[in-house]
Amino acid sequence: MVLIDGKALAVKIQGKLAEKVARLKEEKGVVPGLVVILVGEDPASQVYVRNKERSALAAGFRSEVVRVPATISQEELLALVERYIQDASWHGILVQLPLPQHIDEEAILHAIDPKKDVDGFHPTNMGKLWSGHAVMIPSTPAGIMEMFKEYEIALAGKRAVVIGRSNIVGKPMAQMLLDANATVTIAHSQTQNLAELAKTADILVVAIGRGHFVTKDFVKPGAVVIDVGMNRDANGKLIGDVAFDEVKDVASYITPVPGGVGPMTITMLLEQTYQACLLAGEAGSQ
Residues with a catalytic annotation lie at 52, 96, 119
Angle 154-186-133 (CA atoms, 0-180°, nearest 5)?
65
Q: Using CA atoms in the order 22, 129, 83, 52, what is the torsion angle rounded to 10 degrees?
A: -50
Contact 241, 188 (CB under 8 A): no
According to the annotation, is 165 in a ligand binding site?
yes
According to the annotation, is 164 in a ligand binding site?
yes
According to the annotation, is 166 in a ligand binding site?
yes
Burial of 132: CB neighbours in 10 Å, binned 0-12, 13-18, 19+: exposed
Which residues are annotated binding-site positions?
Answer: 164-166
Which residues are annotated binding-site positions for NADP(+)?
Answer: 164-166
